[in-house]
Structures are given as C-alpha cells and as structure tokens.
Amino acid sequence: MPGMQTAMAFVLRFCPLLAVALAHGGFQSAVRLEANMTLLPQSSWHLGGFCFGYANSDSGNDTKVGELWIHVQWDGQKPLEKNGPVVLAAFDASPESWGAVKDHWGEKSCEEKLQAATWVRKLGQFQYWFRVDVHQETYARDWHFALLTCGPATEVEQANMVLSVEAVDGALAVFEPDMAFDDSSCPAVTVPDWWETALRDTRFWIALVGVVLFGCCAAVLCFELRHVRAERARRRDAAAKSKDEAFARAAGAGFHNSRFQDEAPKPDAGSLSVAVDPSRTPRSEEETGAAEPGDIEAGPLPPETSQVRKANTASL
C-alpha cells in the first residue's frame, strides 16, 4: 500500500522534530534557512547562515552557543546516500575556513571547499533529520552553510530535494543565500555607559561606600599609630635627658668634695710644733728663778721679756 508507506514515512520523519520542538518550548525563537533545488553533479549552493555568539569564560567546559535542526526531503528514485556524495558543509568566518574560499567560491572545486570547511556531514545515511550543536569560545562570528555534490554525473540523480537548516537556539542574526560574503551579520557590540549602569545598580553604591569607609579607617589608624610612636619617642628622649642631668649633677658634687679634701690642712694629732729662736740663749736658774712648787714650769723667756720683768722687780 503506497499511501500507507508514505504516511508512515512522514510520521517517522516528523515525530522526532515535533518531540524536540516540544522539549524546547515550541518554535517561537527559531530562525530557518530553506533551499529547494534539483541536484546537479559537481555543484554547490550557498544556503546562507547564522551569527552565533561565544561561550562565557565562566561557563567552564560548556562551550555550546547554538543548536541547529536539519531536515532533508529527497524525492529521487534511489536513496540519497547512493548519490554523489551529497554533503552539507559549514564554514565559520575565520581566515582559514570561510576566508579561504569566499573570494573564489564559484571557482573552487568541491574537494577544495570541503578541505576548508569547519564541519561536514554526508546526507542520506538512513537519517533525514538530525541535530547539530554549535561550539565556540573566542568571539561572535558568522557560520555559512552550503550544499555540495561532489560525485560525477553518473552518480548524481537529478531529482528535487528540499533542505532546511533551523537555528532553534543561540542565533544572533540570520542572512540569506549568497549574502554576507565579506561583511559580518553579527550585531555590533555596544558598550553601555558605566555611569548609567552604576546608577541603576545598588551593588555599585554599596561597594563605593565600603571602599570610602575602608580608606577613612585606614587613614585614621595610620595617623594614630604615628602619634603613638611619636609620643613614645618623646618620652624616651625626656627620660634619657633627665638621667643624663642627674648623672652630671652627681658627678659634679663628687668632684668638689674630693678637691676640698685635697686642699684643706690636715692636723697632726698629739703633736705641737714650737719654733725655736736661735738668738735666744738659755738663762740660769739665778736669772730666771727656781720654780716653786705649784707653779707652771715654763721655758726661758725672751730677752725683752726678761728685762721688762727685771725692771718691774727693781721698781718694787
């Protein structure tokens, strides 16, 4: 029953697409490239492409930035995998990939284009719907998609084929076939005004107040530490100065006492020195008179004293 087989084939092809669509919440955010062509040998078709962003460095090992659903409808008599081969290729907008073929797209052979491609998938290998994840982590760039038939004329059935490439996640922009060969379709990155952004973000003001308070506390602490150190140094200098003055006074007092002791006369205990005049001559007992008991015995008197005493005696 040909009708039943066609219906079953449609269900088998559409059910996986519907399941994935429901898992992602529908088709609202998807953008699609679609091509309807008749296959020709040694031919290529530029399908257009998408711009994808890049993974944030905080995301770790997850560098996925986009997701594609690809659906193939083949109307030929023999299986698609028996043709060509028929290849879907993707070129990222880097000098080594799209930059190597864009200027001579119509002149490059199928093998040269496949050699420059970033990603290649042979169509018809028992799979008419499949999913592709896009990974990149350096910068946002365009991805160009192309359909290539690399086999000779005898191996390519000239039948109708419909190919759709749908970006269900991550596409920043889309461009049509034979477009954006030299220019990027990615939106320009605008740097927001930091002041306007800060005005709307309370975390900025919290951080600013914290920085100001920390700076003030650090300044006050440094000032107090310098004041304490200066006061300690002043006290040490004053104590050292007072010690030096006290030591100087003590040393001066000891010097004066020792000098006075050296200059003062030292008395000779138990001795009495009497100067003897050599001009004086000893007198006899008759001249001086004998000492009577009870009188103080004295030595000879000087001549003048003796004469005076004699005169007094004579006058008596």
CATH number at residue 33: 2.60.120.380
- Note the pTM of the prediction, 2 decimals: 0.53
277 burial level (CB within 10 Å; 0-12, 13-18, 19+): exposed
> Are residues 110 and 211 both part of a single domain?
no
> Are residues 88 and 204 both part of a single domain?
no
| 209 C-beta neighbours (distance < 10 Å), count | 10
> Are residues 34 and 98 both part of a single domain?
yes
Residues 6+ apart with CB under 8 A from 68: 131, 132, 133, 134, 165, 166, 167, 168
Q: How many domains does the chain have?
A: 2
> Are residues 27 and 156 both part of a single domain?
yes
- CA angle 280/282/288 to nearest 5° reads 115
Residue 273 lies in a domain: no
> Are residues 119 and 228 both part of a single domain?
no
Residue 254: is its pLDDT beyond 70?
no
For strand 129-135 and strand 64-74, is the pairing parallel, antiparallel, or unpaired? antiparallel
Q: What are phi and psi of 287, to 5 degrees?
A: -75, -40
Residue 31 lies in a domain: yes
Mean per-residue pLDDT over the chain, rounded:
75
> Are residues 109 and 208 both part of a single domain?
no
Residue 259 lies in a domain: no
Residue 39 lies in a domain: yes
> Are residues 116 and 25 both part of a single domain?
yes
Cβ(41)–Cβ(151) under 8 Å?
Answer: yes
Residues 6+ apart with CB under 8 A from 29: 168, 169
Which of these three, 169, 187, 205, is where a domain ends? 187
Q: How confident is the model at residue 285 (pLDDT cuts 50, 70, 90)?
A: very low
pLDDT at position 307 = 52
Residue 199 lies in a domain: yes
Structural domain of 230: 191-238
> Are residues 47 and 145 both part of a single domain?
yes
Residue 22: is its pLDDT beyond 50?
no
Residue 297 lies in a domain: no
> Are residues 32 and 144 both part of a single domain?
yes
Residue 139 lies in a domain: yes
Reported as a single tens digit per residue, the pLDDT across 181-196 is 888 889 886 655 667 6
The C-alpha atoms of residue 161 and residue 84 are separated, in whole angstroms, by 13
Reported as a single tens digit per residue, the pLDDT across 94-133 is 999 999 999 999 899 989 999 999 999 988 865 688 999 9
Which of these three, 153, 187, 221, is where a domain ends? 187
> Are residues 136 and 198 both part of a single domain?
no
Tokens of 122: 């042979």
Residue 180 lies in a domain: yes
Tokens of 57: 């460095």
* Long-range contact set of residues 208-212: C-beta below 8 Å, sequence gap at least 24: none
Q: Of 136, 149, 135, 146, which is closest to residue 181 (Cα–Cα)?
A: 146
Cβ(35)–Cβ(47) under 8 Å?
Answer: yes
Residue with tokens 């290649």: 120
DSSP conformation letters of the chain: -HHHHHHHHHHHHHHHHHHHHHHTT-STT-EEEEEEEE--TTEEEEEEEEEE----GGGTT--EEEEEEEEEEE--SS-GGGSTTEEEEEEESSTTTGGGTGGGTTTS-HHHHHHH-SEEEETTSS-SEEEEEEE--S--EEEEEEEEE-S-GGG----EEEEEEEEEE-EEEEE-TT--SSS--SPPPPPPPHHHHHHT-HHHHHHHHHHHHHHHHHHHHHHHHHHHHHHHHHHHHHHHHHHHHHHHHHHHHHHHHHHHHHHSPPP-TT-------TT-----HHHH-PPPTTSPP--PPPHHHHHHHHHHHHH-
Cβ(101)–Cβ(75) under 8 Å?
Answer: no
Reported as a single tens digit per residue, the pLDDT across 36-65 is 999 888 889 999 999 999 887 555 567 889
> Are residues 215 and 179 both part of a single domain?
no
> Are residues 115 and 208 both part of a single domain?
no
Which of these three, 144, 171, 187, is where a domain ends? 187
Percent of the chain with pLDDT over 90: 28
Weakest-pLDDT range from 219-233, 243-257, 276-290: 276-290
